[in-house]
Structure 1
């Protein structure tokens, strides 16, 4: 049985767990299809004009930015943003209401970081104390490390482990759109050639469309450039977690150092291993140990097993612990 069969979030796994996306994964496909469609029109009209004029520089620049933009779109849409597996047991009955109310309503933990007191809230859905800067995504139904936002254009969360890919996607897409917009404007403004009226009309329509696209993505890129340099996230900015910049204990003061921290977070270890498979299912199997990327080699038996082992061994010796390999990793 595969580990993804025990997954309690709303995510989708593909390619034997190598690809993880949000429940609205199709939005990333729609965004990629839109970019591809506009690119085909750009090739067919304004860039075709440059080829006829034997001017290949705009064609080469556009051809460089297009695959880069598509690559980073796929990277951010299929990469683990830093999901934290739920810690609730699959086998609990929650029969004791009084105990369950106590467990699911604990007081928040207070920790200190660089002289700042931070509150670690308890997530009742995931049954865990959220690490600092983490938040619960209602769409994916999981907590995410350094949660930034759930992007509706890519169908995945943006967090600790894929924020760099998201920023590079914005950068490459802006470069692609600016190049296409400049090519369309240059084609429309060139009215010396006869027989280009229909092609120029299409280029004009594309230029108007790209203007509105650039208005949105340039503003988004500028906003995230500000967040990156100041060392905060979109979630913290919206909630006004740090009213003043000097109150933020996670910023290093220098924009270059803040960028370096984001780049290092891209290589942080995930909180689960989707490639793990269960080789031997037992009643006392704890899925959280597997989800936390811990290989189980020993486990205590049931009460009946303990009594049988104790009665069968000489006096003065404790019960023997039965070895039960539960999981094995896929090569």
Structure 2
């Protein structure tokens, strides 16, 4: 049995750890829990479909044809921002290789020294200075790295995300450094679309009620009632979320930092990332450079399959030569022979089988009994008696 070295090329996204799912050969990256994302898609597409079916034909004729056109443009922009937020890499940081993790562990042990038994080891942190402010870099026990500033580990996706804001189930992905601006534009445009549909639903009902009455109008446009209900309950949450993130952008702060109170005035720690100017903060978050992904999801790597594939060579079967026993036993059984020259048991068995096969068919063919000469040795007498019993 010999191992065969077989390798094959695979994309790096196929072997990435974590709890993400990939589609389109690694171009699409999402979390595994996508049920709420599908609900978001259904609510947006369904509400807009009802608006185009019940409101737009009437409003385009009685008010302006620009109403459905602007609604279509706004709808497409909302869907583009949603898909861009959901399908992009939020800024996942690669995990340390085994060699890198071992080197980091050695550095930590050398820095901490020998910890006495029963005492808790010191926290694994490193201090860096950003804008004259000390920032702590925490060690991730899962990814085996010291997280960069503002990074955090998402428990749902099981990855460290750079400039982690939060995990949003409505978009089915984490919100971080690489997709935060698209998330904010999605919430902002969705708020405008919700207000737009809700406002023209009311206008449509009011204009129809003038001629046909309020109840008759509701009977003729049942989809309008459903649109109003969906938009009314969605409006508060979406608009409130947009306002909250507008506040965070003006401070150049993340949701994670706001929840933990990292830069609150109680700790007398100032935000080292803020420019102390609302316009500059907004420009940095919304108009900053597009950061490339550090995962290289579609890169190629060699996978070793030698442990899984083994070639079996046909074993060489060596048949041992039969052992032959040399004997000087005489052909006549009643002849005196010494003990070391007596016939073997195999020879005796062969004689027995020969006598059984060649059984006489008649009395005439039966050979006469051999003559037994008198011997003085008692051993020879015993052998003679045994041979007689076997013969007859």
**TM-score interval w.r.t. the shorter chain?**
0.7 to 0.9
Gaps of 5+ in 2: 1-9, 111-120, 307-392
SS of 1:136's partner is strand
Post-superposition Cα deviations, 1:51-88, rounded to whole Å, max 9, x if no partner, equal: 34363232122111000000100000011110001115
Number of equivalenced pairs: 279
Which of 251, 254, 272 matches 1:233?
254
Tell me what 1:168 maps to: 185
**Which deviates more from structure 2 when the two are superposed, residues 107-116 or residues 153-162?**
107-116
Tell me what 2:281 maps to: 258
Tell me what 1:193 maps to: 211
Tell me what 1:299 maps to: none
| Higher RCO, 1 vs 2 (CA within 8 Å, ≥6 residues apart) | 2
Change (3 A) 1:218 1:42: same
SS of 2:211's partner is coil
Tell me what 1:155 maps to: 172
Which of 110, 126, 129 matches 1:112?
129
Q: Map 1:314-325 onto structure 2 (within 5 A).
A: none
The 1-side partners of 2:206 and 2:262 are apart by 49
Change (3 A) 1:79 1:85: same
The 1-side partners of 2:83 and 2:27 are apart by 13
Change (3 A) 1:173 1:266: farther
Change (3 A) 1:18 1:198: same
Q: CA contact under 8 A between 2:34 and 2:169: conserved in structure 1?
A: no
Q: CA contact under 8 A between 2:252 and 2:273: conserved in structure 1?
A: yes
Q: CA contact under 8 A between 2:205 and 2:217: conserved in structure 1?
A: no
Gaps of 5+ in 1: 284-331
Which of 62, 69, 81 matches 1:53?
62
The 1-side partners of 2:185 and 2:84 are apart by 10
SS of 2:129's partner is strand
1:219 and 2:232 aligned:
no
Which of 243, 247, 252 matches 2:264?
243
In our comparison, the structure showing a higher alpha carbon Rg is 2
Displacement of 1:212 after TM fit?
A: 1.3
Tell me what 1:69 maps to: 78
Q: CA contact under 8 A between 1:110 and 1:117: conserved in structure 2?
A: yes
The 2-side partners of 1:224 and 1:52 are apart by 38
Tell me what 1:270 maps to: 293
The 1-side partners of 2:305 and 2:129 are apart by 41
Tell me what 1:130 maps to: 147
The 2-side partners of 1:158 and 1:53 are apart by 43
The 2-side partners of 1:250 and 1:256 are apart by 14
The 2-side partners of 1:25 and 1:208 are apart by 25
The 1-side partners of 2:174 and 2:289 are apart by 14
The 2-side partners of 1:200 and 1:28 are apart by 29
Q: TM-score, normalised by structure 2?
A: 0.65
**Which deviates more from structure 2 when the two are superposed, residues 63-72 or residues 194-203?**
194-203
Change (3 A) 1:105 1:18: farther
1:44 and 2:53 aligned:
yes
